[in-house]
Amino acid sequence: MSNINSEEKKYKRFITIVSIVIPIAVAALFGIKIPNVEPLSFLPPIYATINGVTAILLVLAVVAIKRGNRKLHEQLNTIAIICSALFLVMYVAYHMTSESTEFGGEETIRYIYFFILITHILLSIVIIPFVLITFMRAKLSNFPEHKKIAKITFPLWLYVAITGVIVYLMISPYYA
């Protein structure tokens, strides 16, 4: 058990740094516009689809582990992490080349949109260390601790993936 703890400490430093650096880098890059570049306006439906694929992968991963298929569970979650990283790269690239789209809905739908958007953004930041710790514990074969945090990670990550699609669908009529 002490071997797991020493290994986990090494990973936790990395996870802490990544969990701080990613949101700061995204926020900084979001504010930077690359001059004289064609807007990457084709990206939003692609990264929204990637969010949808991530949600499906997460559900399939839970089904796989409930059926005792640990290898498939691990593969599906690894692909989900890769999808989330691809989403992030495309999202930043889009916002570095395009102006933000203003939501045009009114009244109640506007409040619903902003509630979903704000919770999506906040939880997308919160989920980073949860995903990385959950993944690390599985890689270190610390399955009792993996299972404990996965019960928190799964619904949060699923919410972020699904609300990413919902935000896209709600704002897509307002893209220029």
Low-confidence stretches of the chain (pLDDT < 50) are: none
Tell me what pLDDT residue 4 has: 61
Cα separation, 107 vs 109, in Å, equals 6
Tell me what pLDDT residue 7 has: 81
Tell me what pLDDT residue 145 has: 93
Tell me what pLDDT residue 133 has: 95
Sequence ranges of the domains in the chain: 42-174
Tell me what pLDDT residue 32 has: 86
Kindly list the distances between the CA atom of residue 68 and the CA atoms of 71, 74, 119, 153, 166, in Å, as whole numbers in the listed order. 9, 11, 33, 19, 32
Tell me what pLDDT residue 35 has: 86
Tell me what pLDDT residue 139 has: 93
Residue at token pair 């692909």:
79
Pick the CATH number of 42-174 from 1.20.120.80, 3.30.2130.10, 1.10.1530.10, 1.10.8.10: 1.20.120.80
For 50-66, the pLDDT digits (tens) are 999 999 999 999 999 99
